[in-house]
Amino acid sequence: MKIKQYIYPFLFVLLTLGACSSDDEGTDPDPGTGGGTVDPPPAAAQPINLTDYDNGTGVMMQAFYWDVEPRHEWWDVLSEQVDEWAEAGIDRIWLPPATKGQSGGYSMGYDVSDYFDFGDYFQHGTTETRFGSRAELEDLISAAHSNGIEVIADIVINHNSGGGEQFNPYRGYNTYTLFDQEHGNASGMFNRNFEYFYPNSVSQYDPGSLFYAETNLDHHREYVQDWLWKKENSVAKYYQNVMGFDGWRFDYVLGFEPWVVKDWLDEVGGFSVVEMWDGNAGNLRNYVEETGSGAFDFSTFYKLDEAFDRFDDLTYLQKDMLWKTHPTKAVTFTANHDTEKDTNQDNYIAAANKMKAYAFILTHPGYPTIFYSDYENPSFQEELNQLILINNTIATGDFEVLYVDADEYVMQRKGTATNPGLILYINISNNIKARGDIQTKWNSTPVMDYSGNINFSTSTAADGKVQLRAPANGYAIYSIME
């Protein structure tokens, strides 16, 4: 992981102005109820260089959105961006399903047909996938690795699409379950027929698929296990050893039992995160304990949605979330290709609240993910880069909520003996907020905002208490000065 070797422009402005205590645009803050006074920092106090700290964490980039354009060029588009992402502090990229789907050149890969066609064979109306050729994918993986970035494969092993039609005696009618070189599996590897989908001569019932019932793979069949993860030329080992993928994002794990993920990881290892679309932290917790895999933290996603969008109440940020008990297994996020497909749905955080949500996940425990479309939004990118820098440097140590009500949320990361940590102050009211008697770990120490959102610095008292401020409908991130 690279750490930026410069300070962002808005912090440079603070440097050139010198340490000061002032309100944004001269607006008097709402003093809150905490009391306290503002002690200016010493005139010589300067911002710390965040790049002097490296807490060993990183950030994953979801490197696609739904129906990416231009078609057949996506791998090349990403290859041109990995240098910049590495410089920003991205240490993994999550790619869409990389092999041929039933929709051919229009497929986002989730209608997987041939697990070994990365753009090698003409089938479903195209040789290249929607994202490009195999050679272009290999170039992207090489470019990522040369920048110290791991590449995560999206694995769809619940359902298949695009096979040939055949009579299925276990259903009593024709199903599209014939996959061979003439029917949706031009590679000739992992050929399938109705015996390898539910139901069949061995398994009479589907353990949990809500979708794709006729083409839901039966993972109890030894043949399916061999081809997916056990054989030397299995999907898992081919992706890992031939293509160079470093880990896995398992799609729709509600469609098969947890032991499948555990067996896969026991066989091949690698970084792993599952899409278990469940907002209940307890259910996510049980899953990661049973499988050993990480999980996208939908419990946090929904609490952010409730706090910022649905109820305008920051006390929801105190609810149960996966990262509170399993920080190394919780992959936090504010958006993905599914939540952003239809912005009128309930599963969506409004653009006006996105940066506050990102400030939360990039300062709290857990492994945060940035959504490609958010990062490429010119209104967000500079701010996201600063948050990534903060995440990778001073967002460390135990966390403690110092104050919370409907409008305000104040949280401290306590740092370590050699890392100062930080304080996040979120404010969703329409006024600047000031809260006194905030108990910090910094005694008689100058502090300032490192988010660039409010031009304010002060000093803590001898007992560590301080008054801090947050911009209207925004956030500030405080740490020490030198």
Do 208 and 248 belong to one domain? yes
Nearest to 61 by CA among 407, 413, 373: 373
Do 319 and 449 belong to one domain? no
Domain of 282, in residue numbers: 59-393
pLDDT for 219: 96
DSSP-derived secondary structure letter, 315: G
Of 347, 364, 393, which one is at a domain's C-terminal end? 393
Inter-CA distances, 109 with 10, 66, 106, 195, 477, Å: 40, 11, 9, 24, 39
Catalytic, 214? Answer no
Of 356, 373, 393, which one is at a domain's C-terminal end? 393
DSSP-derived secondary structure letter, 409: E
pLDDT for 64: 98
Distance, CA of 24 to CA of 14 (rounded, Å): 13
Do 413 and 429 belong to one domain? yes
Query: Cα 34 to chain center, whole Å?
Result: 35
Tokens representing 37?
């006074």
In a domain, 3, yes or no: no
Annotated binding site: 158, 226
Q: Are strands 150-155 and 90-94 parallel, antiparallel or unpaired?
A: parallel
Tokens representing 412?
């401290």
In the three-class reduction of DSSP (H, G, I as helix; E, B as strand; rest coil), residue 128 is classed as coil
Distance, CA of 208 to CA of 250 (rounded, Å): 16
Among 91, 251, 297, 407, the one annotated catalytic: 251
Do 13 and 88 belong to one domain? no
Domain CATH for 270: 3.20.20.80
Do 80 and 137 belong to one domain? yes
In a domain, 207, yes or no: yes
Do 172 and 27 belong to one domain? no
Do 38 and 138 belong to one domain? no
pLDDT for 63: 98
Of 341, 358, 393, which one is at a domain's C-terminal end? 393
Is residue 452 within 8 Å of 11, Cβ to Cβ? yes
In a domain, 238, yes or no: yes
DSSP-derived secondary structure letter, 391: H
Amino acid sitting at position 62: Q
Distance, CA of 229 to CA of 51 (rounded, Å): 41
Distance, CA of 119 to CA of 74 (rounded, Å): 13
Distance, CA of 466 to CA of 435 (rounded, Å): 8
Among 275, 278, 306, 449, the one annotated catalytic: 275
Annotated binding site for Ca(2+): 158, 226
Tally the domains of the chain: 2
Mean pLDDT of the chain: 93
Amino acid sitting at position 257: E
Distance, CA of 323 to CA of 329 (rounded, Å): 7
pLDDT for 10: 45
Provide block-wise average pLDDT over 10 residues at a time, the chain (482 residues): 44 40 48 66 96 97 97 98 98 98 98 98 98 98 98 98 98 97 98 97 79 91 98 98 98 96 98 97 98 98 97 98 98 96 79 97 98 98 98 98 98 98 98 96 98 97 97 98 97
In a domain, 165, yes or no: yes
Catalytic, 275? Answer yes
Distance, CA of 125 to CA of 50 (rounded, Å): 51
Distance, CA of 290 to CA of 272 (rounded, Å): 13
Tens-place pLDDT, residues 38-79: 889 999 999 999 999 999 999 999 999 999 999 999 999 999
Tokens representing 154?
């999206």
